[in-house]
Amino acid sequence: MQSDLSFRSPSEDDLDAITDLESVSFPSAWKREFFESEVNAAGRYNLVVEEPRGALVAYLFTMYYLDEMHVNKIAVDEDWKRFGIASTLMKKCFEFARANNLLTVSLEVRESNEAARALYGRLGFAEVYVRQRYYADGEAAVVMSCTVADASRTWDVGRET
């Protein structure tokens, strides 16, 4: 099924679909203007995923500076979960990081989001600390981090197999 999907950089034409997916994916959703500012900003690695008919089913928004990358947003449409799309987006994130000599990738995840925390744990992320009252509704965020070298060993990122 993933072979039928296309991965590409987002454009302003994608903003409505991104915002729609964001609003059903997160209780404290980003506004359209936030994504709009991220689409063409410097120091960003962003992807959208389309199914064969052209509907947007997932996205990844990251920023990088010096030797660090931060995952700002990642979402997969409910109907497309459990097909490995989030893992593929993260793999592409680490491929980009390695190709650009970035050393670490970090992110925040809701403390209650056990599925996401488990996924990131399987991908090599470690829980570093908790940010209390991080989200607008007062929930804490777990900050997770992974070195690019560790991820490279896990996935053979950037290596021919």
| pLDDT, position 27 | 84
Contacts of residue 133, Cβ cutoff 8 Å, sequence gap at least 6: 139, 140
Specify whether the CB–CB gap between 16 and 23 falls below 8 A.
Answer: no
Distance from C-alpha of 107 to C-alpha of 145, rounded to nearest angstrom: 7
pLDDT tens string 88-118: 999 999 999 999 999 999 999 999 999 899 9
pLDDT at position 154 over 90: no
Interatomic CA distance for residues 96 and 98, integer angstroms: 5
Homologous superfamily in CATH for domain 2-155: Gcn5-related N-acetyltransferase (GNAT) (3.40.630.30)
Cβ atoms within 10 A of the Cβ of 153, count? 12
Tokens of 58: 């997932």
Task: Band the pLDDT of 160: cuts 50, 70, 90.
Answer: very low
